[in-house]
Amino acid sequence: MRLLITAGPTREYLDDVRYLSNASSGRMGYAIAAAAAAAGWDVALVSGPVDLSPPAGCEFHAVTTTQEMRDVCVALFPTCDGVIATAAVCDYRPRERITGKLSKTGGPITIEMIETDDVLAELGSRKAHRFVIGFALEAQNPRENALQKLRRKQCDWILLNGPEAIGAETNSVELIGSDERTAAHWSGLKSEIGVRLIDWLRSQPSRPTG
């Protein structure tokens, strides 16, 4: 079994020193990568900037922007059996990146933003025989929004969690299948949830056990 995992945030630069990002720690993705490697799987971990060391035994790819994450994932996905996408990618980027450092003008400024590539949706559209598991961090109408994301991005399963997971050591997730039924619900340390997810995936009759 060869597994692609995305983790951490991405950054979109306004100028050479300022960027848009989020507070994702990468802990959930790194925990899943560690659990998969411990299970004997071949793991390709694609990570945005985080303050974590890659788990032992993982093939590691460091990226910064959403475009970089997309390019690496698209290149790796054909060699993998599936993907677990935990990365918190930026949804927007400035249309133009300013060279140097943006200086104060004494008044308001306007920065035009455009959507970034949807990495998970692209992998879903390319999945063929591969499985796709996404994460949905939702605050309002969480389950309905997660189901919409599952369908829109062609996931086989999606893990729903809330904003309290950002930067935390613990998490609470609901695993929802493409049939819209809850397959599992886990709470605890992210390291424990990573093990439970990999154990659950290994137990599925249509999935290799490594």
The length of the chain in residues reads: 210
Residue 208 resides in a domain = no
The two three-digit tokens of residue 144, written as one number:
């309905």
From first to last of the 210 residues of the chain, give the pLDDT tens digit.
Answer: 999 999 999 999 999 999 999 999 999 999 999 999 999 999 999 999 999 999 999 999 999 999 999 999 999 999 999 999 999 999 999 999 999 999 988 999 999 999 999 999 999 999 999 999 999 999 999 999 999 999 999 999 999 999 999 999 999 999 999 999 999 999 999 999 999 999 999 998 765 433
The secondary structure of 171-198 as a DSSP string is EEEEEEETTS-EEEEEEEEHHHHHHHHH
One-letter amino acid for residue 101 of the chain? K
Number of domain units in the chain: 1
DSSP letter at 88 equals: B
Residue whose C-alpha is closest to residue 65's, from 135, 30, 116: 116
Q: What is the domain extent for residue 131?
A: 2-94+113-203
| Reported pTM | 0.95
CB of 34 within 8 A of CB of 53?
no
Residue 121 resides in a domain = yes
**Whether residue 22 lies in the annotated active site:** yes
- DSSP H or E stretch at residue 23: none
How many Cβ atoms sit within 10 Å of the Cβ of residue 40?
11
Residue 194 resides in a domain = yes
22, 141, 145, 161: which one is catalytic? Answer: 22
